[in-house]
Structure 1
Amino acid sequence: MNSIVDSRTPSAVADAERWTAHNYHPLPVVISEAQGAWVTDIDGRRFLDFLSGYSALNFGHRHPKLIAAAHAQLDRLTLTSRAFIHDQFAEFCHRLADLTGQELVLPMNTGAEAVETAIKVARKWGYQVKGVPDGQAKIIVAADNFHGRTTTIISFSTDDDARADFGPYTPGFQIVPYGDLTALADAVDDFTVAVLLEPIQGEAGVLVPPDGYLRGVRELCDRRNVLFLADEIQSGLGRTGMTFAVDHEGVRPDMHIMGKALGGGIVPVSAVAASREVLGVLKPGEHGSTFGGNPLSCAVAIEVIKLLETGEFQRRSAELGGLLHEQLRALIGRGVTAVRGRGLWAGVDIDPSIMSGREASEKLMARGMLAKDTHGVTVRLAPPLVIEEDEIRWAVRQLAEVIGAA
């Protein structure tokens, strides 16, 4: 079964290409099983997952506690819609509010839905609380951002692949350079209702802002009566070595935007959390989702929050992330030009004279390691937080051998 001749993978890849829209360019691997940090393809070959579903799988594939919670809930109740209250809803919202240090929670499904929620709430807050004239609200965002791919969100993207040919675009946004406090301060005016940022930019290549930047954003927002919206969809829930990436600077945003790992890799779960003053502007009928906060999602997310409440996964990310970054930095000048990131999250720039990020990812796949490229030369590394030290060392060895640094 493992010979190239007998492999089922090429035909399965071809079938996927034939019957699906080509909005992704996946690696040619067809996964059929997974557990922990490892996945198995249809031909029985095992791969170490160093992408974790873009941080949706922070707790690994099929974490026993999360699977048990899902099974138990499947036997009881899966959906009521928000027309009724179910018995998992209050606990989920309460635990998530406590985890974020906020007062209220609004659950949705996908990360993009959570960002759309944040945008709508910020605008309504601007009109009803700050007193911005109707239709004049402005939200400041950062260049090279990635907040999703809805029509409104791509309206303030600087990525041509995400934006081109999808206009007309939604107005009301101003783009400034990421990490530049002076540019941000200059952009804020009386019509500004919010600053929307990723504390670490994931899709851009795991870009970490300068020290003090997030504190400066917080101080600026306080001074100008502007909401700080932190998109922690990829960076949050243990990925960077703390519960949220903003925690590294001791900052609490006006709104936490969460998704991906909140669903434990089982169901799509997203949410925003904010104060009563902010989320309290919404009234029945103004925003919602049939599946948002459904019983199955809440049951799984409650167990996700319980895992985070122990602090174990944040510690693992910090400690093992230190090892990962130490080993990756040793490759700089030997086929790697830069390494960025925090915790178990890294962007590794491959020397373009050697190969592209895509080529590196394909060669890593051939060696039994799954990672994904972005922006040409960068390979993103984000292993599950359940990964072991020896697996990290093995993975970095594979990268070293691929780029000729071994």
Structure 2
Amino acid sequence: MIELLSPAGTLEKLTYAYTYGADAAYVGMQDFSLRTRAGNITEDDIDSLKRIKGEKKLFAAVNSYMHEKDIGLLKEKLELLGRYPFDAFIVSDIGAAHILKNHFGESRALHLSTQANCLNSAAVQAYADFGFSRVILGRETPLDEIRRIKDTNPEMEIETFVHGAMCMAYSGRCFLSAFLTGRSANQGDCSHTCRWTYRLMERQETEGSFPSGELALEEESRPGTYFPVNEGDGYTTILSSKDLCMIDHLAKLKEAGIDSFKIEGRMKSLYYVATVTRAYRKAIDALEGKAGSEDWREYRDELFRVSHREFSTGFFFDNEEIANPTEVSYLRDYLLIGTIQDEVEPGLFDLSLKNKIEQGTALEFIGPKTLGIEDTDFSILDKEGNTVESANHHQSVRIRTKKPVKPGFIIRKKLN
């Protein structure tokens, strides 16, 4: 049985990941994660984690590159880590893995992070000997090599990314963020500089280490800061890779022996987490012949309505697609408005707003098994029951609708 593994940067996203079909989810530990701005899990969340997790699986990303001070901090927090309901730790640093293994023994599994760049069967065997039960292969591993790796190490669980953002740098080991902003991607604080817009320019005067006459990229909001480059003209997305999307090739991934299909996106919205998880849940169920999955392609189409860059198949088949950067910044058809919360009375629900909602706007409600319910004849009310024309992010309001919606449904608005 294939595992569907979804991202969860916050407790709210974790809830939606499970609700919309994930078998397992992964969260980050603030001090040790390569996504320090993902709204990571804290000590105050332990009881909530246990309640939300239930019988599902939960993995903790402890995958940053650790300096000496970080190793000391990890040792100090071992007892605290043991209080979380984690089934496994996702680790890239071998020293951290050694500490976790010695402390937890077999009570917590070790999963090798993709940041460790494991690309061959010999390395997989070495990690198996160390005590890892799962390897998240480097994203550069071709599909035919994955098959050989699994054949050589049949007892090792193999996990690969199947959807989400890719890096132009080798498995995320990028220094561009630190160069332009002082925020290191290798310390979990990537500023996503590869997603910004740039222009190619030729300096007329020598300034610093940028000689006169050389071509360089200048970021739109940082005039005077230059990054040398030698191709294209105008603003460019040369540093932004295409996104990975393997939903049409899951049978081939299964045949290669992959055990867990992983979705990237701990810093993405809950709308992204829910919609992408739902699409892959339907596709996996269809692949495994489960009832009720006949319409999976309709859910597949939803992937193109979530904010994304151009899609590619990454390194699975060849390098041609991923070697070419995306030609557009983002593609997006819908805006997340909010989520349906508790039902106050029949047809009246509390709202959690993420963006502005206005009376009379055409809205759509989507759920774990509901593609889209349109509604323009809804009412927005304050907590005293008074009708309001609009409400903004974080305002406490309710929605009255005659549509068959439930708590956990997502509200979105189609963009022009």
- TM-score between the two structures when normalised by the length of structure 2: 0.28
Return the structure number with greater helix share.
1
Q: Computing the radius of gyration over CA atoms, which structure comes out larger, 1 or 2?
A: 2
The structure richer in strand per residue is 2
The structure showing larger relative contact order (alpha-carbon pairs under 8 Å, at least 6 residues apart) is 1
